[in-house]
């Protein structure tokens, strides 16, 4: 099945292809945030602490980040649809193990490891298949918009859905819910056909995969160690940076020797893409850091249960939904750079509102304005960042750039939970909330500065087509 034939299908056929891809992104983003509202329930049931649950969440996000690049590369060797289905199956098994876990160790095996590995296998095919199947530029832009929006909604709605399930049934039922959604996605995926045959002769850079994974793991573990041992933190961060430098030098050496590395160094020579990747990292860092900080504070300090915490997060979900629904209209009126700058600015304002209003009021409604603004701001910039990066490269590099893009985003998610969580846990009863939120605001300003460096007037082909109206 060729890409052009897909692009000429009626809208109902396009939706049949897009629905499972968007749902896959939704459930993976949902998994990264829904545990935030179960902190009290899970820590009591599993006989652990808030820091234990934070560690499980962070490891899940870290495994995704560490394995996303190798996962994207494996799609060339084994095929995109096959990797998608295998990843979904592994994820589903992990969700069921998590549902019956008797302690934190088993939870980490099921949720953090298996669900993380499954996600790393299934997410790159989502973006590669979207690029290959939706060859008409307008439909591709809209498809990316839908998938990015579902990812953002999954992260923002995770606390509400997780809270509803936990309160009505149990936190374990939330993992059963994930497994059921996985079954639905697998059934719906039968409509997807891989437009390119797998290449069994494709070389897989095992050494590069190990170096990239180890480097990312060391950096995040260093941040997690910040509240226990400063020297250990510094040692891990330096070691991680050195390993990542070793990784870059190794792939450059392999390219010069005519071998096929895990990533092509040409991916790092595109200034627009590099800046777009940086904005993705900042976006998910702020989103997941914000989600964990507010959820933990509400439950541990304010004493709210899972459903009460989830309902408070509805404000962020509404804000993100509104901006996602308006994404196409925004794209017609504003350049991608402008949308990303505006998104960061609104998000930072939202965080500042969260700091000031919550400190002055004990009402749960004090969280609503700030959460709405933060959700709206993040929703405004998610799709433009994805379009910038994915549309900067041709189809022959979609496997590599999809893996790199998702790795950078998930690294941001794990860093957000690690940084904000570490600051919060270190001072839960005496200013930890304000300190964590201030750190996120500073990081948001960093993202704003990076976004202003994006070239003016540079609009990805897909985004430019979308601004010309419907096909």
To the nearest whole percent, how much of the chain has pLDDT over 90?
15
How confident is the model over 263-294, as pLDDT tens digits?
Answer: 777 778 888 888 888 898 898 889 888 888 88
To the nearest whole percent, how much of the chain has pLDDT over 70?
85
How confident is the model over 312-331, as pLDDT tens digits?
Answer: 878 888 888 787 666 666 76
pTM: 0.73
In this predicted structure, what is the pLDDT of residue 429? 61
Give 301's pLDDT tier (boundaries 50, 70, 90). confident
How confident is the model over 116-174, as pLDDT tens digits?
Answer: 899 888 888 887 887 777 766 566 667 777 777 777 777 777 777 888 888 888 889 98
Q: What is the mean pLDDT of residues 337-358?
A: 90
CA atoms within 13 A on the CB side of 86: 14
Q: Where are the alpha helices (DSSP H) in 36-136?
A: 39-45, 50-78, 80-99, 104-107, 116-133
How confident is the model over 193-206, as pLDDT tens digits?
Answer: 877 777 777 777 78
CA atoms within 13 A on the CB side of 53: 26
């Amino acid at each position: 099945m060729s890409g052009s034939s897909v692009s000429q299908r009626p809208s109902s056929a396009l939706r049949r292809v897009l629905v499972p891809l968007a749902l896959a992104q939704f459930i993976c983003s949902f998994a990264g945030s829904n545990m935030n509202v179960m902190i009290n329930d899970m820590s009591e049931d599993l006989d652990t602490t808030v820091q234990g649950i934070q560690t499980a969440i962070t490891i899940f996000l870290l495994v995704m980040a560490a394995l996303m690049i190798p996962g994207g590369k494996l799609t060339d060797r084994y095929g995109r649809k096959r990797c998608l289905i295998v990843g979904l199956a592994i994820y589903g098994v992990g969700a069921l193990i998590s549902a019956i876990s008797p302690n934190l160790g088993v939870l980490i095996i099921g949720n953090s490891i298996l669900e993380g590995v499954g996600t790393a296998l299934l997410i790159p095919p989502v973006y590669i298949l979207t690029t290959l199947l939706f060859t008409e530029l307008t439909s591709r832009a809209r498809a990316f918009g839908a998938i990015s929006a579902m990812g953002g909604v999954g992260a923002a709605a995770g606390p509400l859905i997780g809270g509803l399930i936990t309160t009505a049934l149990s936190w374990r039922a939330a993992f059963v819910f994930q497994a059921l959604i996985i079954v639905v996605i697998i059934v719906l995926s039968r409509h997807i056909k891989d437009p390119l045959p797998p290449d069994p002769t494709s070389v897989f850079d095992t050494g590069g995969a190990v170096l990239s994974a180890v480097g990312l793991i060391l950096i995040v573990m260093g941040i997690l160690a910040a509240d226990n041992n400063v020297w250990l933190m510094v040692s891990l961060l330096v070691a991680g940076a050195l390993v990542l430098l070793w990784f870059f030098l190794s792939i450059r050496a392999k390219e010069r020797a005519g071998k096929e590395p895990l990533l092509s160094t040409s991916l790092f020579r595109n200034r627009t893409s590099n800046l777009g990747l940086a904005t993705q990292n900042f976006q998910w860092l702020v989103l997941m850091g914000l989600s964990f900080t507010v959820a933990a504070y509400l439950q541990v300090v304010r004493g709210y249960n899972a459903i009460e915490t989830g309902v408070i997060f509805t404000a962020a979900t509404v804000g993100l939904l509104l901006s996602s629904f308006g994404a196409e209209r925004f794209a017609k009126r504003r350049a991608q750079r402008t949308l990303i700058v505006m998104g960061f600015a609104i998000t930072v304002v939202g965080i500042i509102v969260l700091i000031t209003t919550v400190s002055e009021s004990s009402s749960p409604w004090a969280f609503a304005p700030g959460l709405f603004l933060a959700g709206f701001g993040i929703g405004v910039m998610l799709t433009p960042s994805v379009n910038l990066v994915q549309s900067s490269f041709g189809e022959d590099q979609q496997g590599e750039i999809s893996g790199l893009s998702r790795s950078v985003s998930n690294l941001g998610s794990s860093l957000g939970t690690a940084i904000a969580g570490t600051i919060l846990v270190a001072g839960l009863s005496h200013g930890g909330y304000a300190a964590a939120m201030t750190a996120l605001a500073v990081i948001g300003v960093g993202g704003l500065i990076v976004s202003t460096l994006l070239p003016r007037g540079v609009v990805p082909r897909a985004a430019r087509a979308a601004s010309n109206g419907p096909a």
